Structure 1
Amino acid sequence: MRFGRMLNVVDAHAEGESGKVVVGGVGPVPGETMFDKMLHFSEHLDHLRKLLLCEPRGAVWHNANVVLPSNNPDADFGYIILESTEYPAMSGSNTMCVATVLLETGMLPMTEPVTHLVLESPAGLIGIEATCASGKVERVKLVNQPAFVYHQDAKIDVPGVGKVSVDVAYGGMTFAFVDAGSVGIPLEAGQEAVLYDLGQRIKKAAAEQLEVRHPTNPRIPGITNTSFTGPLIREDAPDGAEMVRSKNAVIVSPGRLDRSPCGMGTSARLALLHARGELKPGQLFRPESLIGSQFDARIEDTTRLGPYAAVIPAISGRAWITSLNQLVLDPSDPFQEGFVVGKPWKSEY
Structure 2
Amino acid sequence: MNCTYNEKLYEHSFRTIDSHTMGEATRIIYDGFPELPGQTMMEKKEYLISHYDHYRKALMLEPRGHRDMFGALLTPPVHEEADYGVIFMDSGGCLNMCGHGSIGTASMLVETGMVDVSEPYTDVVLDAPSGLIRTRVKVQNGKAEQVSILNVPAFLYKENQTIDIQGYGMIPYDISFGGSFFALVDAEQIGIDITMENVDILSELGMLLLKKINETVPIKHPYLDITTVDLVEFYSHTDKLEADMKNCVIFGMAQADRSPCGTGTSAKMAALYAKGELALHTPFVYESVTGSLFTGEATKEVDVGGYRGIIPQITGSAYMTGMNTWLLDPEDPLELGFLLGTQKKAPKESDRSRIVRAAWQLFHEKGYDSTSVEDVVELAGVTSEIFHRYFQEKDDLEYTLGDLFDRKYADLMVQINPRLSRYETLLYLNRELFHLIETEVPLPLVKHLYMEDIDTKRNLLNKKRFYYSLIPQIIEEGQDKGEFRRSENARELADNYFSLERGIIYDWCVKDGKDSLVHKGQRLLQIFLKELLA
**TM-score normalised by length of structure 1:** 0.92
Alignment match, 2:403: none
Matched letter for residue 84 of structure 2: F
Spell out the pairing of 1:273-284 with structure 2 (5 A cutoff). Answer: 273-284=272-283
State the Cα distance separating 1:264 from its structure 2 match. 0.9
Alignment match, 1:71: 78
Q: Determine whether 1:211 maps to 2:210.
A: no
Tell me which moved more, 119-128 or 49-58.
Answer: 119-128
Which digits, 9 at most, give the CA deviation of each residue in 1:167-218, with x for residues without a partner?
1112122211100111111122222222122111112111112111233331
Matches of 1:313 and 1:33, distance apart in 2? 25
Tell me which moved more, 38-47 or 261-270.
Answer: 38-47
Alignment partner for residue 55 of structure 2, among 24, 28, 48? Answer: 48
Alignment partner for residue 149 of structure 2, among 127, 137, 142? Answer: 142
Alignment match, 2:191: 184
Q: Could you tell me whether the CA contact under 8 Å between 2:282 and 2:298 is conserved in 1?
A: yes
State the Cα distance separating 1:282 from its structure 2 match. 0.9
Aligned residue pairs, count: 341
Alignment partner for residue 195 of structure 1, among 176, 193, 202? Answer: 202
Alignment match, 1:241: none
Q: Determine whether 1:314 maps to 2:313.
A: yes
Q: Could you tell me whether the CA contact under 8 Å between 1:11 and 1:21 is conserved in 2?
A: yes
Alignment match, 2:228: 222
Q: Could you tell me whether the CA contact under 8 Å between 1:14 and 1:94 is conserved in 2?
A: yes
Alignment match, 1:289: 288
Alignment match, 2:303: 304
Aligned to 1:19, what secondary structure does the other structure show? strand
Matches of 1:323 and 1:231, distance apart in 2? 34
CA 1:86–1:173 in structure 2 vs 1: closer, same or farther (change >3 Å)? farther
State the Cα distance separating 1:342 from its structure 2 match. 3.0
State the Cα distance separating 1:345 from its structure 2 match. 7.5
- In structure 2, stretches of 5+ residues that fail to align are 1-7, 347-413, 416-534
Which digits, 9 at most, give the CA deviation of each residue in 1:82-119, with x for residues without a partner?
01223222111111111011111111011111111211
CA 1:282–1:21 in structure 2 vs 1: closer, same or farther (change >3 Å)? same
**What percentage of aligned pairs have identical amino acids?**
35
Matches of 2:239 and 2:326, distance apart in 1? 44
CA 1:282–1:109 in structure 2 vs 1: closer, same or farther (change >3 Å)? same
Aligned to 2:244, what secondary structure does the other structure show? strand
Alignment match, 1:108: 115
Spell out the pairing of 1:326-345 with structure 2 (5 A cutoff). Answer: 326-344=325-343
CA 1:213–1:184 in structure 2 vs 1: closer, same or farther (change >3 Å)? same
Higher helix share: 2
Alignment partner for residue 89 of structure 1, among 87, 93, 96? Answer: 96
State the Cα distance separating 1:221 from its structure 2 match. 5.7
State the Cα distance separating 1:2 from its structure 2 match. 4.1
Alignment match, 1:240: none
CA 1:315–1:192 in structure 2 vs 1: closer, same or farther (change >3 Å)? same
State the Cα distance separating 1:296 from its structure 2 match. 0.6
Aligned to 1:126, what secondary structure does the other structure show? strand
RMSD: 2.0
**TM-score normalised by length of structure 2:** 0.61
Alignment match, 1:174: 181
Aligned to 1:295, what secondary structure does the other structure show? strand
Matched letter for residue 34 of structure 1: M
State the Cα distance separating 1:232 from its structure 2 match. 8.0
Tell me which moved more, 323-332 or 36-45.
Answer: 36-45
CA 1:346–1:27 in structure 2 vs 1: closer, same or farther (change >3 Å)? farther
Matched letter for residue 322 of structure 1: T
Matches of 1:134 and 1:48, distance apart in 2? 36
Q: Could you tell me whether the CA contact under 8 Å between 2:218 and 2:227 is conserved in 1?
A: no
Alignment match, 1:120: 127
Q: Could you tell me whether the CA contact under 8 Å between 2:78 and 2:127 is conserved in 1?
A: no
State the Cα distance separating 1:317 from its structure 2 match. 0.5
Alignment match, 1:272: 271
Matches of 1:344 and 1:63, distance apart in 2? 18
Matched letter for residue 264 of structure 1: T
Matches of 1:8 and 1:70, distance apart in 2? 19
- In structure 1, stretches of 5+ residues that fail to align are 238-243
Matches of 2:343 and 2:27, distance apart in 1? 20
State the Cα distance separating 1:12 from its structure 2 match. 0.4
Which one has the largest radius of gyration?
2
CA 1:196–1:343 in structure 2 vs 1: closer, same or farther (change >3 Å)? same
Matches of 1:198 and 1:71, distance apart in 2? 39
